[in-house]
């Protein structure tokens, strides 16, 4: 009965590859987010979707493309991976009227070699 | 733009010590303020919140008071436990539909 789940938990890949991270929430929330946490624990929002519509699109390389097939899922696809993409990626969700009370997934640690 | 400044860590305390983690913010308007906690190997969890000036948020023995005059939201706990070891993030929700996080403060509590 995990509220926000992500797969995979760990992802090790080589530069230039394309990879995807999946996120699902069973809380019935309308809004989902992707965050990137660097090695110093700094957390930066990348994208948010509300009911499958893109709401926030921060300044990230266009190699990163989010996709929301339905409001319970938000996937992150990354093309042409670079060393600097190594980080922990967190998915989160929130319900309408409580945008800032976010529920986070366990994170996906991406290592690009 | 909106921003949050937290005291730099790491912070190391002995069990039962008093904890303060300072947080100040810059925002236009009247933001909501939050403390999130990240335990090792996990995602962030909302610890407490305050939505208007002079509100006190509290949870699990932690407290923080929204001080508009000093633009602060310092986190306090009277007696920390080893299980409180985590990274603590102060955050602001100012109406831009996104949370603005501080850089996080790592707390280690030794037995």
* Cβ atoms B16, B28 nearer than 8 A: no
Interval B27-57: pLDDT, tens? 988 899 999 999 999 999 999 999 999 999 9
**What would the DSSP string read from start to end of A28-52?**
--SEEEEEEE-TT--EEEEEEEETT
Q: How far is B90 from chain A (nearest CA, A)?
A: 11
Quote the Cα angle for B96-B99-B104, to 5°: 150
pLDDT at A2: 72
pLDDT at A1: 64
Contact B45 A104 (CB under 8 A): yes
* Cβ atoms B105, B88 nearer than 8 A: yes
* Cβ atoms A51, A39 nearer than 8 A: no
Q: Which residues 71-110 in chain B show a CB within 8 A of chain A?
A: 87, 89, 91, 93, 97-99, 101, 103-104, 106
């Amino acid at each position: 009965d995990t509220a926000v789940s992500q797969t995979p938990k760990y992802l090790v890949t080589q530069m230039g590859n394309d990879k995807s991270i999946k996120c699902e929430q069973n809380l019935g929330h309308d809004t989902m987010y992707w965050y990137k946490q660097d090695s110093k624990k700094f957390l930066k929002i990348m994208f948010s979707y509300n009911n499958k519509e893109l709401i926030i699109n921060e300044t990230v390389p266009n190699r990163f493309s989010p996709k929301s097939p339905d409001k319970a899922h938000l996937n992150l696809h990354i093309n042409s991976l670079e060393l600097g993409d190594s980080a922990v990626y967190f998915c989160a969700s929130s319900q309408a009227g409580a945008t800032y009370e976010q529920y986070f997934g366990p994170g996906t640690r991406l290592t690009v070699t | 733009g909106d921003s949050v400044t937290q005291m730099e860590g790491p912070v190391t305390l002995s069990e039962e010590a008093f904890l303060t983690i300072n947080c100040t913010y810059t925002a236009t308007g009247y933001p909501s303020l939050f403390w999130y906690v990240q335990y090792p190997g996990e995602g962030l969890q909302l610890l407490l919140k305050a939505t208007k000036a002079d509100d006190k948020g509290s949870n699990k023995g932690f407290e923080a008071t929204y001080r508009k005059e000093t633009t602060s939201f310092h986190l306090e706990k009277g007696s920390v436990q080893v299980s409180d070891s985590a990274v603590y993030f102060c955050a602001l929700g100012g109406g831009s539909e996104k949370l603005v996080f501080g850089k996080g403060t790592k707390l280690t509590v030794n037995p």
